Structure 1
Amino acid sequence: MSRRSRMSLFGLLARQFRSDLGPLLALAVIVLVVATLAATAPLALRSMTSAEVAYQMDNLPAVRRDLLSRAAGNPTITPGTAPFVQFEGALKAATESAPNPLRKALGEANFVVSTDSLQVARLGVEWNDPITPITLNVAPALEDNITLTAGAMPAPFDQVLAPQDPTRFPINQFTRDPVDPSIDILLSTASADQAGWKVGEERLVRVSQDDGFYAKLSGTFDALDEADGFWAAARSALQPGISHTSFSGSNTRIVTSAAFIDPGSWATLIDETRLSATTSVGIPLFTDGLTVDEDEELLPQLRHYLSQPQQVAKVANSTTVSSLIFTSDADSTLETALSRASTAISVLVMVASGPIGVAIAALWLLSRLILLRRRDALTLASARGASGVQLRTAQALEILALSVPGAAIGAVIAYLLFPSAWSDVSVILAGVVALVPPVLTAIATSPRSLRSARGDIDPRVRGRYRWVLEVIVLAMTALAVFLLLQRGLASSNGSVTVDPLLASTPLLLALSAGLIVLRVYPIPLMGFARAAKKRKGIVGFLGANRSIRDPAAGLAPVLAMVVGLAVAVFSGVLLGTVYGGVDSAAHSSVGADLRIDSPILTQEQLDEIAAVPGVADSVAIYQNNKLLNLSVEANIAVPILVVDTAALERVQANVPGAAHFDGDMSGKVGERIPVLLSPDLAAQYTVGKDSTLGPEDIVDGGDPGTSPSLSGVQDWVLIDRANSAAFDIDKFLPRITLITLDDGADAGAVTADLAKIVGSDATIESPADASALLDGSPVSGGLQLALLALIIVVALLCAATVVLALMISGPARERLLALLRTLGLTRSQAQGITGWEIGPTALVAIVVGLVLGAVLPLIVLAGVDLRPFTGGVLQPAVILDPVLLSLIIGGFALLVVIATMVAIATARRVSLAKTLRTSEEG
């Protein structure tokens, strides 16, 4: 039986592979890990962006997310049992004409037609308490979205008003002629309960002073799904509007309900009553299932759709709706989601540039180690006629055969993890990773690498090419930093992009720092070596000189340690900055420990709020929307905020960006009333000596700060409640209440007590609620996980470079230590000398990496706009968390020490006889 020759090409390659099995397997593992990360990263970021858009849109109420339009007039009405079929067709055409992906995101349009509020009186009652006005509504899709809780659906009718009979009119609630018609209406369960209207009960609805009709409650209903987009167009259908009369000495409740009638009878109602109508249309918007590319494409399409009127009737008249202009907060929310994703991606790309550099350094050291182990064979091949190109090609092809499968496996893993977000970019990145090791191997296979060279040359003697490269790197770094600082914050404008300047700046800074370390660290070491020369002991003297002459493989491990620690510290600072910024922005936007947004509150309710256990102080804010002319450097129509400014300053004492008042706002300065302009107005205009607000002269009352908590509009002027009469504001009807809590108060218990006072229509929010909404988003979770993963990866790669660097310098060290061991050098001294090879550079690199990691946020965050991410008005301040940074620095240093100890421990296994027998020098 023949035996395969071990001297054949395949046999020689197999023997060579087995002899270098350890380094080759290490290279394959690094390629696999890096290729997997490189291929997975863009897919994960795309998936994260889509998830962020879906998250933000899902947390947006339908009344703000869906496309809504309100227009005066009726839809086009056609005779027959389906009076709105033409209008429904026009709405369908308006949605189907939208381009994709907007068309894909739009649902089926719903509409509600409503009359103005009509007065209602209970029969046989002199005084109604509560007062129960209604609006008459029709919604063809209502029955598909409700469940009856009592009674039945409204019956059709063909007559509304009774025939004119001068002997009976004006109509009133005390004389009910049985021949007078009655129409069926349907109310929500909550509206019927608040109005005290029983199923089957009739009430008089007044169309005018002399005319009206009777309405019978045929049934009540609840929504099948209150979050369904249908209810966005029917805003008051489920919950009645609650207000109170302003009569002197009276505080009667007013319960305004939306009453629904049979859709086929709407034409009869309008023809007989001539009531004015308003048509409300809602088009649901769903972004679930859209890819990140479609999300980006959706934004400009949505903005264009909202800016253009949609035709719904061919012939326009004074009572028919001919076109609709839709409004929605979805475009701004979509832009915010994309901006948050873009910010996170920018941050991750910046941080990832460091591990990329460390991975290249590790692959370079592996290439050098493999070639070092093959030096004798390659030298022999060169001596027998192999050219440099042949040697480089052979080594590169062998490494390529190893790296391609690893990169392919990485791409497959990426696809299996994120199949729905697949992009060809992943294949390209995996291919680039596969090509890097062969290229580095080809570069390392130089004629110089095949020669054994002494390492004890003067470190001050440098090649001119190194100076040129270092100057280029330093110049590029300075230029990048200059451009970044000059440009300022970069806005994503609702697009997910990678900024090359931001991506490259951290790596350039780290590379420059590594070069500076290599230039600077020999200076103190040479001084130490001269001092050690005069002392007893060989370890310090010889170790310092070897560290100067041969700093364990040069730039690669230094760069790895500088970049590794810089990335770790930068990531820790960034996490602290982001989440500190989120908390600060949430507190600023809420404006207090608790914030109540509610229907109008009475003074009795405000007093009850102040008396709730745990409430330390409270202040109510009333926005009078009757615009007054503000004369500053221009004339501007603005609403007025009325508030007890002394209470406001107490409540917002610890709120970031809160307003600050220069003095007592309740009095006058001379004959002028002190006012506070909104932050936007204050940034553009100054209150001068000739400034007025309405009929009154005004003076600047202080600094408005930056908190957006006082109003939902950008332009306003704030006055103290004591001065409201000067502007003819005689009612205080607040909808915003800010509350501070006692120390140790249970916020949950206080919120539950407040909810009983303000009712179910109100929302009560704390800064923790606002923070949780941002912290719980896919982008926030993804950023935290990615930064943690990058810290771990870069730390492991850094440890690998330390081990590889010591392995590369191993042969020369072994020869020296073997000779010294024969002269009496102990093993502990040998290990000490080995430690000197990496110790000084590691110490300096760690110090520089720590400084660089602390400085990087100050430089890089000058170009990254974190406001979309934190939800704040201002760029968050850099926050250094000492506990987090201590853990990161301590863990990183420990890992480097362990890696060094592992490499040093290999010195114990050195064979003195073998080393001396094969030694070529000393």
Structure 2
Amino acid sequence: MSAPRFTAPRFTAARLVRRQLAAEPATGALVAATVLVVSLVLSLWPRAVDALLGDDLHEQVTSLTPAQRDVTGRIAAWFTYEPGPGAPGDADPSLEGDELDGSAHLAGWLEQLEGNRAAAGDQLWHVLGPPEAVATRPSDPIDKGPRAAGVVAETLAIRTDLRIGDRVRVVEGRAPAAYDTGGLYDAGSPLDVVRDRPLELMASVDTADRMRWAVGETRLMTGVVPFRVTLVGTFEAVDPDAGYWSHLESTLFPFIDEDGNVGTTVNGTAYADPSALPALVLADGVAVDFWYPTLTAQTATADHADLLRELRAFLAEAGMTSELTARLEDVTARHATFTGLLQVLAVGPIGVALAVLWLAAVLATERRRGALALAGVRGASRTGVRAALAAQGLVVGVPPAALGAWLAALLVPRPSAPVAVWVLAAAVGLAPAACMAVAAGPAMRAARPARPDARRADGAHSTAGPSVSGALRRRARLGLELAVVGLAAFAVWSARGRGLGGDADGGTDPLLVVGPVLLALAGGLVALRLYPLPLRALTRWLHSRRRLPHFLGAAETTRSARAGLAAVVALVLAVGVGTFSGVTLSTVGSGVERTAAAAVGADLVLEGEGLPADAAARVAALDGVAHVATVGNAGRAPGRLLGSDGRVDVLTVEVAEVAAVQAGLPGVGALPALAADDGALPAIIGGRDPEDVGDGGESFVRWGSDLAQLAFEPVAAARSLPGVSAGSAWVVVDADAWAARTGAAAPVARVLVDLAPGADTDDVATAARSALGAPDDAADRPGLDAGPRIATTSTDAVRASVGDRALVRGLTVGLLAASGLVALLAVVVLGLALTIRAPERGRLVALLATVGAPRGTTWRLVAWEVVPLVAVALATGTGVGALLPWVVLDVADLRPFTGGIAHPPITVDAGVPLAGVGLAVVITVLAVALAAARARRTRTVVVLREGERP
């Protein structure tokens, strides 16, 4: 009986990869976790940015009134009794047809407008709603009736709308009946027919009440066409806030014209049945207003570039107008700045993540050096070894990358994600395979045993070949380093010259996007070249001292950059991105503060009519109030400002009080002195640029019952004064000087309040309103004697309003996310750099222990390995982070994030560098402690046995 035959198990490629991964699971898990995080962030980033841009577009469109954002048009229509098609937008718009059916004409217009919308383009068709069209006969005088006491005259515009029944609710009476147009144009004079056929109308409750027009009452219009009109009903809007009413002014409420010289005129609007349209066009025709409502909710998911292109073409072809075009153009510029900043931020974490993957690949190959050497001895080719390591990289890279992309799709679902999202995830998944394949080459060369024929016959080393190749490598490395530094300088120059939207298509300059990585790489190269110089001097000094651990640590750090270029550049980039993020947040925050200060002009402003003369004293007596100033409004009078005639608002202030209130407000300058002598009143001229003061020209207003001329001496000019005034024609003078010249103080129009430290704005505002006599709810005043209607504004409210905008929230989250991610990755980089050196460090510690080295030797050696690296990275990274704001923020338009009209200055918060140094100290201490603890676990016997190997 023969002995059993044993055969070695057959190792397939898959089994070999599995065995190698199982032999070093920690490294594979680290790579997989890094890939998962990076893939999730890179897949989430474009989706989140796309959602933020959509929210911002929706915010910007919603901020316009419906009449501003809707696509609108107007034509004049009249009646020609000739068959043929006709619709709004035709060169000769008219009411045509064999039948006098106004409803049919309105329906035909709407049908053609809907056809135009269907052909407008995919993006625009989804954003524009179904068309609206109304026909309005211009206002004509109408009898004011017997009950309109105090009214000099009344006018009435008559409107028709097919869908008015869906928009209003009849309160009294009924809706108008159809108008009989039979024989209207058969008679010799249509005016005689109209005079004998009363036209039924319905008006809003407020219009009928203000015109004193009772339901059932018939009145005569005294214009060219003598319509007899009967009010048969009153209505109220189903939705008074609907966009429909913003297109039709003076419909729900009449327009009241108060003229002190003439009297009160009431201008109302009423609705007739659409069948009356052929009669309404008599003589002067009707104005047809038509528009497409903008569906604001649809703008959040629209491609604003395509939407803008389609909208321009549609407006040009249809002859319509909309302020949506200008707003979309502004949004395009805003989004270019926003995406440019986020792209610059995103490159930082990507660069650090690539360094993590590279160091993890180096660690994996270093741990497999023995296996690689054995494979080389057994005849394995370099290509085969690289392929095996690449396969391991695919196993630990592709599944986590796919998982990250899938999680991003679940967290931020988008109807159509950009292709770049999937491309980035795929690139991250393939990165470990590429890094491990490239890192295998140096590891195989280091593991290869020295060749016996590497010595000459006389026993001396042959150095000719290595010397030449080493010199060539040094020259090539120096040339490459100089090229990187030159490219970084060119990126800075390009960014300074072109900015965040320098491309012809409005995209971001690619050199600006990769600028942080280039600057970090250049800084790291320069640091690696320079920082050994002081260490060599320190090593020589330590050589003569009895400090063996310090001498060994300094010597090891001097000989080479132990962490490698990748670790240095990654740490420099992490510090630079963190610093840039902090400076950007500080700059945007200071810009928002300046915006709030310029918009309000004080911590709190109370404004309204009928404020008491002692308003300042009442508010100053409240708790939480530090200083108070008032702005008086003397009224509007004819005058001349710097040579321009017109009506001028005269405002009065006390400069010292305003200065006390506005002390400390960022960006708010002090008012010039306005004290007056017996000559002209010193004044600040509004609505002008500062340089206009030198142009000369007399300035005055005519004041009083006898219109006496009060001369001004312009001492300054401004477009606006925070807290005082903004507008096109105003003048600010000293309150006491004005009272002395006119004999009366100007009524108080505004109260500026400087709050005491710790005071609550809302509490002070409530107390101030009560002290000034305002009712608890000014919106529901029972009568005119209920007290002044006071509006309050605070810097806190403006600051919160600006900070709640989509782009500001997105930028803040992006900056914080980028800083947190690079900080986390920087810890991983430092850990990997120390782990790669762990075997050599452990052997050195074990050997030193055998010769009696003190117990603190381990952490001192680790500290010498970590502290110079962190210090160099912190110094160089801070320099890079300080340079990036000058490169990026100085050419970026940050006004969309601050809400101001001026570019905010770059601001550095002192807490930013302090936070960076503190975090670096904490990371360094933890890294030293963990690395030292691991080094002490290396057993001396293992080191000695390794030293016995041939």
Summarize the alignment of residues 401-550 of structure 1 with structure 2, pairs less than 5 Å apart.
401-417=395-411, 418-447=413-442, 450-451=445-446, 463-488=474-499, 490=501, 497-550=507-560
Match of 1:322 in 2: none
Q: Give the Å deviation of 1:453.
A: 11
Corresponding letter in the other structure for 1:326: M
Match of 2:903 in 1: 875
Q: Give the Å deviation of 1:300.
A: 2.4
Corresponding letter in the other structure for 1:524: P
Summarize the alignment of residues 154-173 of structure 1 with structure 2, pairs less than 5 Å apart.
154-158=176-180
Corresponding letter in the other structure for 2:489: A
Match of 1:643 among 646, 649, 666: 649
Instruction: Describe the superposition over 1:307-341 as per-residue Cα deviations: whole angstroms up to 9, x where unpaired.
Output: x262xxxxxxxxxxxxxx43322223323334333
Q: 2 CA distance for matches of 1:651 and 1:581?
A: 22
Match of 2:72 in 1: 68
Q: 2 CA distance for matches of 1:492 and 1:128?
A: 65
Which runs of no fewer than 5 residues in structure 2 stay unpaired?
79-92, 183-194, 450-469, 621-627, 702-708, 735-745
Q: 2 CA distance for matches of 1:151 and 1:106?
A: 36
Q: Give the Å deviation of 1:802.
A: 0.7
Instruction: Describe the superposition over 1:30-62 as per-residue Cα deviations: whole angstroms up to 9, x where unpaired.
Output: 112212222222222222222221232233332
Match of 2:595 among 585, 588, 591: 585
Identity in percent? 28
Corresponding letter in the other structure for 2:309: P
Summarize the alignment of residues 220-369 of structure 1 with structure 2, pairs less than 5 Å apart.
220-222=235-237, 224-247=238-261, 255-271=266-282, 274=283, 277-289=286-298, 294-306=303-315, 308=316, 310=318, 325-369=319-363
Q: Secondary structure at the match of 2:384?
A: helix
Corresponding letter in the other structure for 2:513: A
Corresponding letter in the other structure for 1:864: A
Q: Give the Å deviation of 1:823.
A: 0.8
Contact 2:70 2:293 in 1 (8 A): yes
Contact 2:502 2:509 in 1 (8 A): no
Q: 1 CA distance for matches of 2:915 and 2:314?
A: 51
Match of 2:217 among 180, 192, 202: 202
Contact 2:579 2:912 in 1 (8 A): no
The worse-fitting range, judged by mean Cα deviation, of 382-391 and 556-565 is 382-391
The worse-fitting range, judged by mean Cα deviation, of 804-813 and 440-449 is 440-449
Change in Cα spacing, 1:345 to 1:807, as seen in structure 2 (3 Å) is same
Contact 1:659 1:706 in 2 (8 A): no
Summarize the alignment of residues 659-674 of structure 1 with structure 2, pairs less than 5 Å apart.
none
Instruction: Describe the superposition over 1:64-116 as per-residue Cα deviations: whole angstroms up to 9, x where unpaired.
Output: 22123344556743512514233333433443342232122111222333344
Which runs of no fewer than 5 residues in structure 1 stay unpaired?
161-178, 311-324, 455-459, 632-637, 723-733
Change in Cα spacing, 1:706 to 1:841, as seen in structure 2 (3 Å) is farther
Q: Give the Å deviation of 1:800.
A: 0.7
Is the counterpart of residue 566 in structure 1 residue 576 in structure 2? Answer: yes
Match of 2:81 in 1: none
Q: Secondary structure at the match of 1:107?
A: coil
Q: Secondary structure at the match of 1:305?
A: helix
The RMSD of aligned alpha carbons is: 4.7
Q: Give the Å deviation of 1:126.
A: 7.8
Q: 2 CA distance for matches of 1:85 and 1:545?
A: 92
Match of 2:840 in 1: 812
Corresponding letter in the other structure for 2:171: T
Q: Give the Å deviation of 1:509.
A: 1.5
Is the counterpart of residue 383 in structure 1 residue 349 in structure 2? Answer: no
Match of 1:853 in 2: 881
Q: Give the Å deviation of 1:577.
A: 1.5
Contact 1:101 1:297 in 2 (8 A): yes
Q: 1 CA distance for matches of 2:502 and 2:616?
A: 43
What TM-score do you get using the length of structure 1 for normalisation? 0.80
How many residues of Structure 1 are paired with residues of Structure 2 in the alignment?
A: 848
Match of 1:149 in 2: 171
Match of 2:739 in 1: none
Q: Secondary structure at the match of 1:149?
A: strand
Instruction: Describe the superposition over 1:622-668 as per-residue Cα deviations: whole angstroms up to 9, x where unpaired.
Output: 999x999999xxxxxx9967333554988798587779887769999
Match of 1:740 in 2: 752
Corresponding letter in the other structure for 1:506: P
Change in Cα spacing, 1:245 to 1:550, as seen in structure 2 (3 Å) is same
Match of 1:8 among 7, 11, 14: 11
Is the counterpart of residue 833 in structure 1 residue 855 in structure 2? Answer: no
Q: 2 CA distance for matches of 1:89 and 1:102?
A: 18
Corresponding letter in the other structure for 2:11: S
Match of 2:204 among 188, 192, 208: 188
Q: 1 CA distance for matches of 2:475 and 2:152?
A: 93
Contact 2:101 2:278 in 1 (8 A): no
Q: 2 CA distance for matches of 1:573 and 1:848?
A: 16
Q: 1 CA distance for matches of 2:293 and 2:373?
A: 74
Corresponding letter in the other structure for 2:369: R
Is the counterpart of residue 45 in structure 1 residue 49 in structure 2? Answer: yes
The worse-fitting range, judged by mean Cα deviation, of 225-234 and 661-670 is 661-670
Q: 1 CA distance for matches of 2:787 and 2:276?
A: 35
Q: Secondary structure at the match of 1:288?
A: helix
Contact 1:57 1:287 in 2 (8 A): yes
Q: 2 CA distance for matches of 1:668 and 1:146?
A: 63
Match of 1:796 in 2: 824
Change in Cα spacing, 1:786 to 1:915, as seen in structure 2 (3 Å) is same
Contact 1:135 1:259 in 2 (8 A): yes
Q: Give the Å deviation of 1:125.
A: 4.7
Is the counterpart of residue 400 in structure 1 residue 394 in structure 2? Answer: yes
Contact 1:667 1:673 in 2 (8 A): no
Q: Secondary structure at the match of 1:876?
A: coil
Change in Cα spacing, 1:671 to 1:873, as seen in structure 2 (3 Å) is closer
Match of 1:731 in 2: none
Q: 2 CA distance for matches of 1:667 and 1:99?
A: 68
Match of 2:930 among 897, 902, 917: 902
Change in Cα spacing, 1:712 to 1:66, as seen in structure 2 (3 Å) is farther
Q: Secondary structure at the match of 1:216?
A: strand
The worse-fitting range, judged by mean Cα deviation, of 28-37 and 543-552 is 543-552
Change in Cα spacing, 1:910 to 1:574, as seen in structure 2 (3 Å) is same
Q: Give the Å deviation of 1:775.
A: 2.3
Q: Give the Å deviation of 1:808.
A: 0.8
Corresponding letter in the other structure for 2:250: S
Change in Cα spacing, 1:707 to 1:99, as seen in structure 2 (3 Å) is farther
Corresponding letter in the other structure for 2:563: A
Corresponding letter in the other structure for 1:228: A
Is the counterpart of residue 21 in structure 1 residue 25 in structure 2? Answer: yes
Contact 2:201 2:232 in 1 (8 A): yes
Match of 2:114 among 87, 92, 107: 92
Change in Cα spacing, 1:769 to 1:84, as seen in structure 2 (3 Å) is farther
Contact 1:510 1:562 in 2 (8 A): yes
Instruction: Describe the superposition over 1:319-373 as per-residue Cα deviations: whole angstroms up to 9, x where unpaired.
Output: xxxxxx4332222332333433332221111112111111111111111111111
Q: 2 CA distance for matches of 1:521 and 1:93?
A: 73
Q: 2 CA distance for matches of 1:586 and 1:334?
A: 25
Q: Give the Å deviation of 1:705.
A: 5.7
Change in Cα spacing, 1:215 to 1:657, as seen in structure 2 (3 Å) is farther
Q: 2 CA distance for matches of 1:671 and 1:619?
A: 16
Match of 2:129 among 107, 131, 135: 107
Q: 2 CA distance for matches of 1:674 and 1:705?
A: 10
Corresponding letter in the other structure for 2:480: L
Contact 1:49 1:779 in 2 (8 A): yes
